[in-house]
Structure 1
Amino acid sequence: MAVKLHFSNRNLVLGFVMFVSLLLALYTRTLPSGEIGIIGLTPIFALAILSICGLDIVLSVVVAIILGVIMTSTTPVELGKLLAASTGSFIATVGLIIMLGAGVGEVATRTGAAKQLVNFIVNKIGLSSQRRVKLGIIISSIVICGSLGTMAGGNAIIVAVIIPVAAAVGLTPPTVALLLMTAGSIGLFIGPFTPSTVTILELGGLSYPQFLIHAGLPMSLVTLLAGWFMSNKIQQWTVGKIKYDEEIVDKNKTDVGDEKRGKRSALVFFLTIVVMAFIGVIVQAGFSFAIFVMLTVATLTGLSGGLSPINILDAMYKGCGRLVWMFLLYWLYNPVLVLVDKLSAYQALLNDVTPYLQGFSAAWLCFFVFLFNIIGHVPGAAVAQMTFTKKIFGPILLAQGVTPEGLTAVLLASSQVDWFGPFPSSDMFGQMGLARSTSLKYMLYGGWAIVIANIVMFAILFQIVT
C-alpha cells in the first residue's frame, strides 16, 4: 500500500534552507581558514531565515550550533566545554533575569499586588471617558511591564481589569491591542531591570539616567505619541464594526481580607522596585544586580502578601517554568557567537563592509546600521540581536568616532523598533490575543506608523548624540 506524504510550502522552505546551509557548512571544511570569509556567518544567517520562516526559535539556534560545529570541526568534548562556559556568559545571565522576572510576576499575581496596582492607577485616573480609560491602560501597562520585564506576562496581568472597563466606554479590541503593544513596549524600553535595559547598559557603557536621557525617553515619547494617534484613528475606523461581547464582566472579585493583603503587597512591590533602582544607580551596579533585585522583590512581595516561603518558591517555580525556553534560547545562542567568532567571520564582514562606509558620517553610519537591523531582525530575540549588532558593527562605529551615547541609541533602535514592523511578529499576535482582537491589519497600520515615526526621530537623534 502506497503511503502519501504531504509537505506544506513552509516545510519545503525550511528543508531547503537547512540543506543549503549544510552544503555551505561542509564546503567550509574544504577551505583554508584564511579564505572562509563571510561564509562563516552561515549559522547566523540560517538562524535568522529559519526563525523568520516559522521554525521554533530555540530549534533554529540548535541548527545554528550544529552548523557551527561542522564548520569549526568542534568535537563533542569541546562543545560540552563551550556549553558549560556559556552558563556564565552575559547573554545567558540575561536569560536567567527574564526567567526570574516571570517568577516575580507569578508572585505578584498570587498576592494580588499586580491587580491592586492596576486598580489604583485606573481608579485614580477615572473612568469617565475613553480618553481617561486609554490613559489608564497605558500607564498600567508601562508600570507593570516595566517592573516585571515582560510584555506578554505584564499585560496578561492587567487585561482582566482593563478589558471590562474598555468595553464599558466603547473602546474596540483593535484599539486596546495597539495600546497594550505600545505601552508594554515602552515599559520594556525604560524599565530599570528589563532585559533590554540591562543589556543596553552593559553593552553601551552608559549609566541608567544617561540611557534614559539620550535614548530611552526620546524613543518612548515618539512611540507613545504615534501609538496614541493611531489608536484614535483605529477607534474611528472600527467603532460600530468591531466590539467586545456584552457579557464581558470582571470576574476577579476578592474579599476584604484579600484586598487588604493585595494593597499591602502592591505597596511593598512598588517601593522595593523604586528603592532597588535608586540603589543600583547610586552604586553603579552592573547587570547582574538585576538577579538580586528579582529575588528580593519576590521575597518581600510574597511575605507581605501572606505567602509562606514555600508558597513563594512554588510561585517562582511556576512563573519561571513558563519561560525556561527563553533561558535555553540565550544559553544556546552564546555558543553560536563563539563558534562564528572562531571562523573570523565578524572580522571578514568588517573588512568587506568598511570600505563602503568610509564616506559616511558617524550619524549616518548609525542610521545605516539601524535600517539594516530593521530588515534583518531576529524574531523573538532582541537581546541576541543587540549582542550581534555590537559584535559586528561595534568596531566600525567606534572607529568612526561614534560616542557611547550614539552606540547606545543604535543598540536600542536596532533591537526594538522592529517589534512594530514592517512584518507581523509574535509580540503583535500576543497582544492581539490578550485584547481579544482578530484584526491584524489594524495592528500593522499602528505598527507601521510607529516604525516610521521612530525612523524619523532616530535620523535626527543620531545627529545630536554622535
Structure 2
Amino acid sequence: MIFNLPPILGLVPLAFVIVLAFHKKVHPVMNMIIGSLIGAILMQENLLKFGNVVGEAMGSTMGLIGLTVMFGAGLAEVLRVTGVAEVIVRFIVNRIGINTQRRAILTSMVSGILLVSMLGTMAGANAVIAPVLIPLVAAVGITPATLGLIFLGASQTGLFVGPFSPPAVTVMSLTGQSYPSYLLSVLPLAIVMWVCTYFMAGRVQKITADKECYGPEDLVDQDKEFVASPKSKRATIVFLVTLFIMVGVGIATQGGAQFALIIVFVSAMVTGISYRMPVTEIFVNILKGAGRVLWIFLLLVMSAVLIKYVSASGAFDVLGSMLTPVLSGAGKPFFSFMASFIGVFGISGAHVAQSVIIDNLFGTLAHGLHLSIPLWTLIMTIGTQITTLAYPNGDMFAAMGMAKAKEIKYMMMLSYCAVIPASLILAAVAGFIL
C-alpha cells in the first residue's frame, strides 16, 4: 500500500462507500467510482492498470449479474408491450384476490424464494418475476423500496434452501452432508431471514408510502374492464410454458447465473415471436428496457473493482487474523458468534470462496471444540451468505434495480436493524443447543 500503510487501512474505501450510501445527493454509481479510485490510490495503481481492472470486472460475476439485470428489464418491456404482464396480473388479482399490501408482500416473498431456490441465482430469478410482480404490487400501493427489500430478503432465503445454489453445494461438500440434513441445519436461518424480511417490508412500506410510488406505466387499472386480445393470450401461454420448461432444464442441469441469462433472453424472444412481433422490434424493445437499468450494470462493475482493491490490500485477511487468537480458548456459544461475525464482516468475496476460507481458518478450532456438523454448517452459512447484507454490493443493487428502487438505505435497514443482529444471536444460541 501507499506509504507502507498498514493493510487494515485498506477498509477505508469501503467505509467511504458505506457512509456515502446514506447521502441522498450522491448517485450510487458515483459513490462506487469514488470508493474504487480511493482503493486504486491506496494500492498505488496507475491509470492504465485501473482501466485493466475495470475491464476484468466487466467479465466477472458482477458483470454477468449486471447483464442479467439488463436482459431482465428487456424481458419486462417485451411482456409489457405484448400485454402478457397485464394478462398474468389480472389473472392473479381475479383468482387469488391480492387486494391488500400484506398479501402482496407475502405473494412477492413466496415467488422470490421459490424461483431462487430452483434456479440457484438471485439476479436471474428476480429478473423473471419482476415484470410480473411490479404491476401487481403497484396496484395495491407497494413502493419500490419495499419491493426491493423483498427481492433481497426473500431471494437470499432462496439461496439458503436451494439444492443447486453454489453456496449450498459448497457447504454440503465441505461438511459431507446430504441435502436433507443440510436443509435442517440452515432452516433456522431461513426462518430468521423470512420473518425479518416480512416485518421490515411492512416497516419500510409505512416509511415510504407517502414518499415514492410506481409510475403510471407500472400500474394496472383494476377498475377498467380488461379483455385480453387473442395475441396477448397466446403470448401469455407461450411465455409461461417456455418459462416452465426452461426452469425445469435449469434445475436438471444445475444451471446457475449463466443459464438464468439464457432463460430471460429466450423467454423474451419466444414471447415476442408468438405475439407475431417482428424480430427486429423484439430486439428494439429488449434494448429499450435494458437501457433503463444501464446504471445498474455500471454499478455492479465498479463494485467488483472496489472489492478487488480492498481484498488486494490484505484488509480482510488482517481483520480475520486479528480476531482468530481470541477464539482459541472460547466455548461453543462465543466461538459460534465470533466465527460468524468474522465471516460476515471480515471475509469478503464470492460465497464459494468465503466458505473455503472460513473452513480453513476455523475448521481446526471447530473440531477441537467438538462442534456438531449442523452447527458448523449453520456458522459457515451465516458467515458466507449474510455478508451479502453487510455492505452495499452487487446483490443489493441488483434487487434495487429490478424493483426500480433508488435508495439503498432501506436495504441497509433490513441488514442492520433485523437480519444481521438476529443471525448472530441465532449463531450464539445454536452454540448452546447443537
So what's the TM-score if we normalise by structure 1? Answer: 0.63
Query: Using the alignment, how far apart are the partners of 2:225 and 2:244 within structure 1?
Result: 27
2:241 pairs with 1:274: no
Aligned equivalent of 1:349, options 319, 335, 351: 319
The CA deviation string for residues 236-286 of structure 1, in whole angstroms up to 9 with x for no partner, is x99xxxxx9xxx99278587453x333332333233233222222222224
- Counterpart of 1:94? 65
The CA deviation string for residues 97-144 of structure 1, in whole angstroms up to 9 with x for no partner, is 1222121122222222222222222222247x86xx854663267548
Query: Using the alignment, how far apart are the partners of 1:45 and 1:234 within structure 2?
Result: 24
- What's the CA shift for 1:349? 2.0
- What's the CA shift for 1:38? 0.4
| Native 8 Å contact 1:204 1:407 kept in 2 | yes
Bigger radius of gyration: 1
Query: Using the alignment, how far apart are the partners of 2:50 and 2:154 within structure 1?
Result: 37
The CA deviation string for residues 179-218 of structure 1, in whole angstroms up to 9 with x for no partner, is 85675456534668xxxx97756976889x8899468976
AA in 2 matched with 1:97: T
- Counterpart of 2:75? 104
- What's the CA shift for 1:84? 1.9
Query: Using the alignment, how far apart are the partners of 1:113 and 1:255 within structure 2?
Result: 13
- What's the CA shift for 1:94? 1.5
Question: SS state of the match for residue 400, structure 1?
Answer: helix
2:52 pairs with 1:116: no
| Native 8 Å contact 2:87 2:236 kept in 1 | yes
Query: Using the alignment, how far apart are the partners of 1:231 and 1:60 within structure 2?
Result: 25
Question: SS state of the match for residue 387, structure 1?
Answer: coil
- What's the CA shift for 1:327? 0.9
The CA deviation string for residues 6-54 of structure 1, in whole angstroms up to 9 with x for no partner, is xxxxxxxxxxxxxxxxxxxxxx5222xxx62201222222222222344
2:131 pairs with 1:139: no
- Counterpart of 1:62? 33
2:83 pairs with 1:83: no
AA in 2 matched with 1:295: F
- Counterpart of 1:328? 298
Query: Using the alignment, how far apart are the partners of 1:387 and 1:138 within structure 2?
Result: 31
Unaligned runs of 5+ in 2: 117-122, 208-212, 214-218, 367-375
| Native 8 Å contact 1:86 1:334 kept in 2 | yes
AA in 2 matched with 1:325: W
- Counterpart of 2:386? 413
Question: SS state of the match for residue 221, structure 2?
Answer: coil
The CA deviation string for residues 294-332 of structure 1, in whole angstroms up to 9 with x for no partner, is 211111122223322122112211211121111111212
The CA deviation string for residues 415-460 of structure 1, in whole angstroms up to 9 with x for no partner, is 35999xxxxx9989x98999xxxxx99xx89x96788776666766
| Native 8 Å contact 1:354 1:396 kept in 2 | no
- Counterpart of 1:399? 361
| Native 8 Å contact 1:116 1:262 kept in 2 | yes
Task: Give the 5 Å matches for 1:79-228.
Answer: 79-126=50-97, 134-135=102-103, 138-139=106-107, 142-143=110-111, 158=133, 160-161=135-136, 166=140, 180=147, 184-185=151-152, 188-189=155-156, 200=167, 213=183
Check 1:356–1:217 CA distance in 2 against 1; reply closer, same or farther (3 A cut).
closer
Check 1:394–1:305 CA distance in 2 against 1; reply closer, same or farther (3 A cut).
same
- Counterpart of 1:265? 235
| Native 8 Å contact 2:63 2:297 kept in 1 | yes
Query: Using the alignment, how far apart are the partners of 1:359 and 1:134 within structure 2?
Result: 47
Query: Using the alignment, how far apart are the partners of 2:249 and 2:236 within structure 1?
Result: 20
Task: Give the 5 Å matches for 1:363-374.
Answer: 367-368=337-338
So what's the TM-score if we normalise by structure 2? Answer: 0.67
Check 1:273–1:289 CA distance in 2 against 1; reply closer, same or farther (3 A cut).
same
Question: SS state of the match for residue 306, structure 1?
Answer: coil
Check 1:66–1:451 CA distance in 2 against 1; reply closer, same or farther (3 A cut).
closer
Unaligned runs of 5+ in 1: 1-27, 167-172, 239-243, 378-384, 420-424, 435-439
- Counterpart of 1:381? none
Query: Using the alignment, how far apart are the partners of 2:43 and 2:291 within structure 1?
Result: 34
Question: SS state of the match for residue 257, structure 2?
Answer: coil
- What's the CA shift for 1:408? 3.8
AA in 2 matched with 1:48: I
| Native 8 Å contact 2:153 2:197 kept in 1 | no
Query: Using the alignment, how far apart are the partners of 2:293 and 2:169 within structure 1?
Result: 23
Query: Using the alignment, how far apart are the partners of 1:211 and 1:52 within structure 2?
Result: 40
Check 1:457–1:340 CA distance in 2 against 1; reply closer, same or farther (3 A cut).
closer
Aligned equivalent of 1:387, options 323, 333, 349: 349
Equivalent pairs: percent with the same residue?
A: 22
